Amino acid sequence: MKYSEYKYLVLSDLFRITGNVEFSVLIRNIFFNKEYKYPFWMRTSHYTKSHSFLKYTIYPITRLILYRLSFKLGIFISPSTEIGSGFNINHIGNIVVNGRSEIGKNCTLSHGVTLGQKNRGNYKGCPVLANNIYIGPGAKIIGSVKIGNNVAIGANCVVTEDISDNSVVVGIPGKVISKDGVIGYVNNTEYDEVINR
Protein backbone atom coordinates (compact mmCIF):
# COMPACT_ATOMS: atom_id res chain seq x y z
CA MET A 1 0.00 0.00 0.00
CA LYS A 2 1.34 3.45 -0.92
CA TYR A 3 1.33 6.30 1.59
CA SER A 4 -1.03 8.31 -0.64
CA GLU A 5 -3.56 5.45 -0.54
CA TYR A 6 -3.22 5.14 3.24
CA LYS A 7 -3.72 8.90 3.69
CA TYR A 8 -6.77 8.85 1.43
CA LEU A 9 -8.38 6.00 3.39
CA VAL A 10 -7.69 7.63 6.77
CA LEU A 11 -9.11 10.98 5.66
CA SER A 12 -12.13 9.46 3.90
CA ASP A 13 -13.03 7.61 7.11
CA LEU A 14 -12.65 10.87 9.04
CA PHE A 15 -14.85 12.79 6.60
CA ARG A 16 -17.64 10.22 6.88
CA ILE A 17 -17.81 10.89 10.63
CA THR A 18 -17.04 14.62 10.88
CA GLY A 19 -17.50 16.13 7.42
CA ASN A 20 -14.03 17.60 7.86
CA VAL A 21 -10.43 16.55 7.08
CA GLU A 22 -8.43 19.26 8.86
CA PHE A 23 -5.35 18.14 10.77
CA SER A 24 -6.68 19.38 14.13
CA VAL A 25 -9.90 17.39 13.58
CA LEU A 26 -7.86 14.29 12.72
CA ILE A 27 -5.77 14.51 15.91
CA ARG A 28 -8.81 15.18 18.11
CA ASN A 29 -10.65 12.17 16.68
CA ILE A 30 -7.66 9.83 16.96
CA PHE A 31 -7.47 10.51 20.69
CA PHE A 32 -11.06 11.17 21.72
CA ASN A 33 -13.47 9.55 19.23
CA LYS A 34 -13.84 5.82 19.87
CA GLU A 35 -15.75 5.31 16.61
CA TYR A 36 -12.82 6.75 14.63
CA LYS A 37 -9.94 5.48 16.75
CA TYR A 38 -10.39 1.83 15.76
CA PRO A 39 -10.56 2.35 11.96
CA PHE A 40 -7.56 4.69 12.15
CA TRP A 41 -5.34 2.13 13.89
CA MET A 42 -6.69 -0.66 11.69
CA ARG A 43 -5.67 1.31 8.58
CA THR A 44 -2.32 2.24 10.14
CA SER A 45 -1.60 -1.36 11.09
CA HIS A 46 -2.38 -2.52 7.55
CA TYR A 47 -0.18 0.22 6.05
CA THR A 48 2.83 -0.41 8.30
CA LYS A 49 2.63 -4.17 7.73
CA SER A 50 2.84 -3.68 3.95
CA HIS A 51 6.29 -1.99 4.06
CA SER A 52 9.51 -3.92 4.58
CA PHE A 53 11.09 -1.37 6.96
CA LEU A 54 7.95 -0.37 8.88
CA LYS A 55 6.95 -4.01 9.20
CA TYR A 56 9.79 -4.62 11.65
CA THR A 57 9.79 -1.24 13.42
CA ILE A 58 6.38 0.46 13.62
CA TYR A 59 3.99 -2.39 12.76
CA PRO A 60 4.44 -4.29 16.07
CA ILE A 61 3.46 -1.10 17.94
CA THR A 62 0.42 -0.37 15.75
CA ARG A 63 -0.69 -3.99 15.98
CA LEU A 64 -0.41 -3.90 19.77
CA ILE A 65 -2.50 -0.72 19.92
CA LEU A 66 -5.12 -2.28 17.65
CA TYR A 67 -5.13 -5.49 19.68
CA ARG A 68 -5.69 -3.52 22.88
CA LEU A 69 -8.48 -1.48 21.29
CA SER A 70 -10.18 -4.67 20.10
CA PHE A 71 -10.69 -5.82 23.67
CA LYS A 72 -11.42 -2.38 25.06
CA LEU A 73 -14.03 -1.46 22.43
CA GLY A 74 -15.35 -4.93 21.56
CA ILE A 75 -14.46 -4.65 17.87
CA PHE A 76 -12.68 -7.45 16.02
CA ILE A 77 -11.79 -6.60 12.42
CA SER A 78 -8.60 -8.00 10.91
CA PRO A 79 -6.29 -5.31 9.46
CA SER A 80 -6.02 -7.50 6.36
CA THR A 81 -9.76 -7.27 5.64
CA GLU A 82 -10.38 -5.55 2.31
CA ILE A 83 -12.29 -2.38 3.23
CA GLY A 84 -12.92 0.50 0.83
CA SER A 85 -12.80 4.21 1.58
CA GLY A 86 -15.26 5.98 3.85
CA PHE A 87 -15.56 3.23 6.44
CA ASN A 88 -17.71 4.26 9.41
CA ILE A 89 -18.35 2.53 12.72
CA ASN A 90 -21.57 4.13 13.91
CA HIS A 91 -21.47 2.79 17.47
CA ILE A 92 -18.81 0.69 19.17
CA GLY A 93 -19.27 -2.74 20.72
CA ASN A 94 -19.70 -6.37 19.69
CA ILE A 95 -18.62 -5.90 16.07
CA VAL A 96 -17.03 -8.94 14.44
CA VAL A 97 -15.86 -9.04 10.81
CA ASN A 98 -14.27 -12.19 9.41
CA GLY A 99 -10.92 -11.35 7.83
CA ARG A 100 -11.96 -12.91 4.51
CA SER A 101 -14.93 -10.59 4.14
CA GLU A 102 -14.81 -7.82 1.53
CA ILE A 103 -16.31 -4.40 2.18
CA GLY A 104 -16.74 -1.69 -0.47
CA LYS A 105 -16.79 2.10 -0.14
CA ASN A 106 -18.93 4.01 2.36
CA CYS A 107 -19.99 1.16 4.61
CA THR A 108 -21.54 1.98 7.98
CA LEU A 109 -21.52 -0.66 10.73
CA SER A 110 -23.59 -0.32 13.90
CA HIS A 111 -22.96 -2.09 17.21
CA GLY A 112 -23.59 -5.81 17.39
CA VAL A 113 -22.92 -6.42 13.68
CA THR A 114 -21.35 -9.70 12.53
CA LEU A 115 -19.99 -10.51 9.08
CA GLY A 116 -19.42 -14.22 9.51
CA GLN A 117 -18.22 -17.29 7.68
CA LYS A 118 -20.36 -20.24 6.64
CA ASN A 119 -18.47 -23.52 6.51
CA ARG A 120 -20.72 -25.72 4.38
CA GLY A 121 -23.66 -25.79 2.00
CA ASN A 122 -24.87 -22.96 -0.18
CA TYR A 123 -23.06 -19.66 0.32
CA LYS A 124 -20.04 -21.32 1.91
CA GLY A 125 -17.50 -18.58 2.67
CA CYS A 126 -17.64 -14.93 3.77
CA PRO A 127 -19.76 -11.89 2.81
CA VAL A 128 -18.93 -9.52 -0.04
CA LEU A 129 -20.40 -6.04 0.39
CA ALA A 130 -20.58 -3.50 -2.46
CA ASN A 131 -20.67 0.30 -1.99
CA ASN A 132 -22.86 2.57 0.15
CA ILE A 133 -24.20 0.10 2.69
CA TYR A 134 -25.78 0.68 6.09
CA ILE A 135 -25.94 -2.22 8.54
CA GLY A 136 -28.17 -1.66 11.56
CA PRO A 137 -27.57 -2.69 15.19
CA GLY A 138 -27.39 -6.42 15.81
CA ALA A 139 -27.57 -7.40 12.13
CA LYS A 140 -25.79 -10.56 10.98
CA ILE A 141 -24.60 -11.37 7.46
CA ILE A 142 -23.48 -14.98 7.20
CA GLY A 143 -21.82 -16.83 4.33
CA SER A 144 -20.56 -15.75 0.91
CA VAL A 145 -23.63 -13.64 0.23
CA LYS A 146 -23.25 -10.65 -2.07
CA ILE A 147 -24.80 -7.42 -0.88
CA GLY A 148 -25.45 -4.93 -3.72
CA ASN A 149 -24.92 -1.17 -3.83
CA ASN A 150 -27.00 1.25 -1.73
CA VAL A 151 -28.45 -1.40 0.59
CA ALA A 152 -29.85 -0.74 4.08
CA ILE A 153 -30.00 -3.72 6.44
CA GLY A 154 -32.29 -3.25 9.42
CA ALA A 155 -31.65 -3.87 13.11
CA ASN A 156 -31.29 -7.54 14.15
CA CYS A 157 -31.75 -8.69 10.56
CA VAL A 158 -30.12 -11.99 9.56
CA VAL A 159 -28.99 -12.07 5.92
CA THR A 160 -28.15 -15.47 4.43
CA GLU A 161 -28.87 -14.83 0.72
CA ASP A 162 -27.76 -12.34 -1.93
CA ILE A 163 -29.36 -8.88 -1.82
CA SER A 164 -29.81 -6.74 -4.94
CA ASP A 165 -29.01 -3.02 -5.31
CA ASN A 166 -31.06 -0.32 -3.56
CA SER A 167 -32.81 -2.76 -1.21
CA VAL A 168 -34.05 -2.27 2.34
CA VAL A 169 -33.83 -5.59 4.19
CA VAL A 170 -35.42 -6.52 7.52
CA GLY A 171 -36.34 -9.59 9.54
CA ILE A 172 -35.12 -13.10 10.28
CA PRO A 173 -34.37 -14.31 7.69
CA GLY A 174 -33.81 -11.02 5.87
CA LYS A 175 -36.46 -10.05 3.33
CA VAL A 176 -36.48 -7.06 0.97
CA ILE A 177 -39.33 -4.72 1.92
CA SER A 178 -38.58 -1.78 -0.38
CA LYS A 179 -36.21 -0.31 -2.95
CA ASP A 180 -35.59 2.95 -1.06
CA GLY A 181 -31.93 2.04 -0.46
CA VAL A 182 -29.77 4.00 1.98
CA ILE A 183 -31.21 7.49 1.55
CA GLY A 184 -30.57 9.30 4.84
CA TYR A 185 -28.38 6.53 6.27
CA VAL A 186 -25.10 6.89 4.37
CA ASN A 187 -23.95 10.52 4.49
CA ASN A 188 -20.76 12.54 3.94
CA THR A 189 -19.65 10.56 0.91
CA GLU A 190 -18.35 13.52 -1.16
CA TYR A 191 -14.84 13.32 0.33
CA ASP A 192 -13.02 12.88 -3.01
CA GLU A 193 -13.31 16.54 -3.90
CA VAL A 194 -12.32 17.64 -0.38
CA ILE A 195 -9.28 15.35 0.00
CA ASN A 196 -7.96 15.90 -3.54
CA ARG A 197 -8.10 19.69 -3.65
Q: What is the pLDDT of residues 52-66, one digit of tens each?
A: 899 999 999 999 999
In whole angstroms, give the CA distance from residue 11 to residue 18.
10
Of the three residues 73, 103, 119, the one that is the final residue of a domain is 73
Residues 16 and 108 in one domain: no
Residue 27's domain comprises 1-73
Residue 73 and residue 38 in contact, taking contact as beta carbons nearer than 8 Å: yes
73-85 mean pLDDT: 92
Of the three residues 48, 73, 98, the one that is the final residue of a domain is 73
Per-residue pLDDT for 164 more than 80? yes
Per-residue pLDDT for 1 more than 90? no
pLDDT band at 24 (very low <50, low <70, confident <90, very high): very high
In whole angstroms, give the CA distance from residue 170 to residue 136.
10
Residue 181 and residue 152 in contact, taking contact as beta carbons nearer than 8 Å: yes
